[in-house]
Structure 1
């Protein structure tokens, strides 16, 4: 998570922070709140064991369940599933998860993750209301697409790709928060089958129309979300004003090459059957020089 995400200090911290113990699992000293999402809250913490052994950077990020979900068995299973999905991935553009732990004394489950410096993509977009230049866009989009290509290649679906889940760290782009993700059939089949519909944490502006209607998560849904993010990178605006897709046809952003626009336009199709493009093909389009396509 981002160390520059305006950590919240007492007394302005919300209830979730005030009710957190000072130390989780007898090892992780909570220092500040980094951010909160649909079902998870993330803190910066100091690993006391690593510090004891002289680690000069003993800091990690801890993800715990938000107050609204910390008593839900489904939410606890979802948090473990997220850790299992992340453990299945090994890519430089995917945020690393170190361990899943239970603090029995405080009845808390939590995930230990790497702590990185840098803003999330939504903050960068706020600073560029007209979108990014083509070189700047490619520098972000290519590693993001590489992360999704890797995840899909390993049978893992993200389920919640959006600017606030993309970290622009000092060490490069990182995709994180697979909390609504799932493994495809044949991948991690031993994981508990839990209902994500009961959690109801989909982001309407980036969730594919079929997901909001109750359909199962598929690669096509991730592709739709990628299309929204790529369009927003190019134009500074969401293609559908952060509402579920309709029959409206967004226009090509001026700084998006035509050969790339053809792929992005497919990704934005409201009908999943018409999203005839993969993350790998989107990556290929962005990586290819326009002249090759004519």
Structure 2
């Protein structure tokens, strides 16, 4: 719920309706980047009305990353057609974080949103981006929270873990076939959330085992050894043991590797393919099959 009241402040929705350049860098205002004319939020407010989220944004203490009308227009969206967007409520909640989060408190990593998926914070010096969107105005105080303006609409994940793996075809076709063979599709398409350390096809080839010859029980044991309950982003990891659904693995952040119980060689976490978000979890790609 909202914190202590200050009669001089407006609620978040009123701030969006009456924004006049607060929180913008002086250089942006002088260059016209955030003039009153182009930093309007009519589409965002219309979207909140369409999704019945106005009360949520007014009556709770929140941080909102607010796309401008210009950001929505880049996607061909305006107050007249925003209501037809599939999954609109999920998109809006992906811009909202519980509590007050000021830009000077942001650190590199992932911040969970009310959508359940997280947005990624990157810092370049003192300048923060959210999912690679810029924050041309920051720390706009509201009665019930804080608003940061973003110059792009943030789009949440739309596929579950299984569908996401399929979309990478053919890179994870062996993994997908193994999940089907072990009858784990419904589990990994469920609510979760799960974190999956996903071996590539090449990783399965290096294993040198014909998966079709394994019993369902043995294959299930191997696959569940790659699954950790909850959403665990790379920024959440630390060196040490991590409990999977079938025993512990050991993560060493000094060289981005994972040690299993069943072999000497370590698996490498592929840095460019970490934190691949799904609707029900997150995938980290590895180059070796882990053996329990």
**Fold similarity call, TM over 0.5:** no
Give 1 or 2 for the bigger CA radius of gyration: 2
Larger fraction in strand: 2
TM-score (norm 1): 0.32
